[in-house]
């Protein structure tokens, strides 16, 4: 299993001969630049080759005219420990997802842990342990932001203060525990927010036997920061209620692979009609009963671009910069000071389209040719995507 210590340093890295540079920024999704310079994992320059200081690089990468995009951020996963999931009894799922272009993941709760504690001391201890464990251990180099407690009845404000002081920054899906009423959830969401902990609410029908319905009135009353899987996980609310959520709430609109695809399209189109595309973020909700989805994020991008008719360069922003801004992450955007987390893509071999964005608009999944996290190459040609027509090449220092 490929892992990476968070302290590894990239030194100076130059990426040149970029054919298409996607920024992750919904207000300017394509940049007029062909070169990125990195130092110790952070972007230090973006521009034309002649304008950049490219001397004395430890590593030079010739992108061979492929597309460079910020690494994809999966806004909704359910990790447990390490690179193992009990849900599918599978190891290596995070590394496999990195081969699908994902460089960061956000936990929506470590709910699949066998024997998961539901008492308050136990759930707090689990959250703190998960946060620490994934902070110290990155499968495939992927940054897993974990430690997302599931709120239970009986929690008091001090519990949220304690969690925040211990380094917990997220709540797991509100509604998966015993707190299911809107007024109860709202109080705890507000306590969490007061101490800088971001919240996500489960939206829609029950995910597994024993969980329950969270309808649009509960979502609106709880007012969590993220309307989690607005298209259901799996079962969606009616399209009318989903559109009402987009309109009446100002919170993030999270669309997942594991949900209802027709409602995914309706939610994205509603957000565009409401002129708030910056609120749309994407996730997989994996691993789940529907499986581990290493290409889930790329499939969501292709789905929304092809069937919702949204330009591919905008949809990539839903999977990168939008999420980074909403989740307060130092990645997801091509700009100086941000983490050098990138996915290099090209059209899949024999796609009916010649250009990457056109192929995505046709519904094809791109071919991933390389993934970089913190300026360090984590994989070359993906073992999971269809083969890319062209792939980047490392010149100088070896992978
Ligand atoms: Zn859920």
Span from the CA of 376 to the centroid of ligand 1 (angstroms): 33
Q: How large is the average pLDDT for residues 278-292?
A: 95
Span from the CA of 291 to the centroid of ligand 1 (angstroms): 14
| Residues in the chain, overall count | 399
Each residue's pLDDT tens digit, 71-96: 999 999 999 999 999 998 999 999 99
Domain boundary among 294, 324, 348: 294
User: 65 with 85, same domain?
Assistant: no
Percent residues over pLDDT 70 in the chain: 98
Span from the CA of 202 to the centroid of ligand 1 (angstroms): 4
Q: Indicate if the pLDDT at residue 208 is higher than 90.
A: no
Span from the CA of 173 to the centroid of ligand 1 (angstroms): 6
Span from the CA of 132 to the centroid of ligand 1 (angstroms): 23
Domain boundary among 247, 275, 294: 294
Q: What is the pLDDT of residue 5?
A: 60
Q: Indicate if the pLDDT at residue 4 is higher than 60.
A: no
Span from the CA of 390 to the centroid of ligand 1 (angstroms): 38
State the total domains in the chain.
2
User: 7 with 38, same domain?
Assistant: yes
Within a domain: residue 318? no
| Distance (Å, whole) CA 200 – CA 192 | 11
Span from the CA of 176 to the centroid of ligand 1 (angstroms): 7
Q: How large is the average pLDDT for residues 325-344?
A: 98
Environment class of 260 (CB within 10 Å of its CB; exposed 0-12, middle 13-18, buried 19+): buried
Within a domain: residue 383? yes
Task: Calculate the alpha carbon distances from 124 to 118, 129, 201 in Å.
Answer: 9, 9, 18
Q: Residue 193 in contact with residue 199, Cβ under 8 Å?
A: yes
What confidence tier does 257 reach under pLDDT thresholds 50, 70, 90?
A: very high
Span from the CA of 360 to the centroid of ligand 1 (angstroms): 28
Each residue's pLDDT tens digit, 354-397: 999 999 999 999 999 999 999 999 999 999 999 999 999 999 75
Structure-derived torsion over alpha carbons of residues 64, 388, 325, 31, reported in degrees to the nearest 10: 30
Each residue's pLDDT tens digit, 16-58: 999 999 999 999 999 999 999 999 999 999 999 999 999 999 9
Domain boundary among 242, 277, 294: 294
For residue 51, the domain's CATH number is: 2.30.40.10
Q: Which domain holds residue 81?
A: 72-294
Listed as own residue / partner, the contacts of 361-364 with beta carbons closer than 8 Å and 24 or more positions apart are 361/305, 361/306, 361/311, 361/312, 362/306, 363/302, 363/303, 363/305, 363/306, 363/307, 364/302
Q: Residue 148 in contact with residue 187, Cβ under 8 Å?
A: no
Span from the CA of 257 to the centroid of ligand 1 (angstroms): 12
User: 18 with 133, same domain?
Assistant: no
What confidence tier does 6 reach under pLDDT thresholds 50, 70, 90?
A: low
Protein residues within 5 Å, CB atom, of ion ligand 1: 173, 202, 207, 233
For residue 122, the domain's CATH number is: 3.20.20.140
Query: What per-residue string of b and e applies to 143-163 under the rule 16 or more CB within 10 Å gives b?
Result: bbbbbbbbbbeebeeebbeeb
* Mean of all residue pLDDT scores within the chain: 96
Q: How large is the average pLDDT for residues 314-339?
A: 98
Each residue's pLDDT tens digit, 182-199: 999 999 999 999 999 999
Q: Residue 147 in contact with residue 132, Cβ under 8 Å?
A: yes
Span from the CA of 195 to the centroid of ligand 1 (angstroms): 23
Q: What is the pLDDT of residue 397?
A: 54
Listed as own residue / partner, the contacts of 131-136 with beta carbons closer than 8 Å and 24 or more positions apart are 131/166, 131/167, 131/168, 131/169, 132/167, 133/81, 133/82, 134/79, 134/107, 135/6, 135/167, 136/6
**Helices 182-194 and 157-165, packing angle to 10 deg:** 40
Within a domain: residue 241? yes
pTM: 0.97
What confidence tier does 1 reach under pLDDT thresholds 50, 70, 90?
A: very low
Q: Residue 341 in contact with residue 36, Cβ under 8 Å?
A: no
């Amino acid at each position: 299993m490929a892992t990476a210590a968070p302290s590894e340093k990239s030194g100076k890295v130059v990426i040149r001969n970029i054919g298409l540079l996607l920024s992750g920024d919904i207000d300017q999704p394509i940049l007029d630049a062909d070169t990125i310079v990195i130092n110790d994992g952070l972007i230090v320059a973006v521009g034309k080759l002649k304008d950049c200081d490219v001397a004395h690089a430890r590593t030079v990468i010739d992108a061979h005219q492929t597309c460079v995009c910020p690494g994809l951020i999966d806004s909704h996963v359910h990790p447990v420990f390490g690179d193992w999931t009990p849900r599918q009894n599978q190891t290596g799922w995070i590394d496999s997802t990195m081969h699908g272009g994902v460089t960061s993941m956000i936990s929506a709760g470590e709910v699949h842990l066998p024997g998961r504690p539901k008492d308050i001391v136990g759930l707090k201890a689990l959250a703190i342990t998960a946060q620490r464990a994934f902070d110290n251990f990155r499968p495939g180099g992927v940054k897993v932001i974990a430690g997302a407690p599931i709120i239970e009845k009986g929690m008091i404000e001090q519990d949220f203060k304690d969690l925040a002081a211990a380094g917990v920054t997220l709540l797991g899906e509100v509604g998966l525990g015993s707190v299911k009423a809107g007024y109860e959830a709202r109080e705890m969401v507000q306590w969490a927010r007061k101490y800088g902990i971001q919240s996500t609410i489960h939206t829609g029908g029950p995910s597994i036997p024993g969980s329950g319905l969270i309808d649009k009135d509960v979502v609106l009353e709880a007012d969590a920061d993220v309307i989690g899987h607005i298209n259901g996980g799996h079962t969606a609310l009616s399209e009318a209620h989903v559109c009402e959520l987009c309109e009446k709430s100002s919170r993030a609109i999270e669309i997942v692979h594991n949900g209802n695809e027709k409602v995914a399209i309706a939610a994205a189109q509603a957000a565009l009609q409401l002129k708030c595309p910056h609120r749309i973020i994407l996730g997989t909700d994996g691993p789940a009963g529907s499986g581990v989805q290493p290409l889930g994020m790329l499939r969501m991008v292709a789905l929304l671009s092809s069937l919702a008719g949204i330009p591919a360069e905008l949809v990539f922003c839903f999977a990168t910069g939008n999420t980074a801004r909403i989740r307060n992450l130092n990645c997801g955007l091509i700009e100086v000071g941000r983490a050098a987390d990138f996915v290099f893509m090209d059209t899949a071999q024999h796609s009916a389209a010649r250009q990457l964005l056109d192929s995505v608009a046709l519904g094809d999944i791109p071919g991933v040719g390389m993934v970089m996290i913190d300026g360090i190459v984590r994989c070359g040609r993906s073992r999971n995507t269809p083969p890319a027509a062209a792939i980047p090449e490392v010149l100088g220092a070896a992978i």
